[in-house]
Structure 1
Amino acid sequence: MNSNLERFKERMEPARKLYAREIRDFAKRYDALGEMTTAEFPDIDVEEYIFEFVKADGTSQAELDRIILEIDEHMEEFSKDNGIEHFCQWACIWI
């Protein structure tokens, strides 16, 4: 029998793929961001999904803060529009 975590990951997989594709595409508009990596941090019943971007050298913290806010707002709206709000609760965006 599957554990709660395994069932959660299985349910989230289509949303994870959709979210990852959108955030990667959306982030291309920012020259201050480099490659995106992903990580997963499992708990007993759920998992956090981390989407982390490499920052370009010389980018100020204020600029990075503005960018992450814009990406976060876009991804929240995208998640609502695409019915993956539950996944969005467990997604973290780091720079």
Structure 2
Amino acid sequence: MLSGNGQEVVDESAWTNIDYFMDLKLTTSSYTASKTKTERAALEFAEQHGLDLVTLIPSLALGSFNSPRIPASLYVGLAMITGMITLFKKKTY
């Protein structure tokens, strides 16, 4: 979804394109970039040391928040309920 290459089906070979994602200027850009880089580093470390590695991505985390803005996870949760799936699509004017 965030690779910018239009893939409809993804597997373990699909990675977030960090440059593309940063260009979207979403509030979660730095989190997504650091998470992607961390996962790549962990997989590389495991491969170099002969370790099996499993990464888990929670489907959604919701709860109270103390930030001045509504967290992106809340928008994602609401999008699943309301059907507004265009949240992460790049706007074209």
Compute the TM-score of the two structures, normalised by the length of structure 2: 0.31
Higher helix share: 1
Higher strand share: 1
Q: Which has the larger radius of gyration?
A: 2
Compute the TM-score of the two structures, normalised by the length of structure 1: 0.30
Taking CA–CA contacts closer than 8 Å with sequence separation of 6 or more, which of the two structures ends up with the larger relative contact order?
1
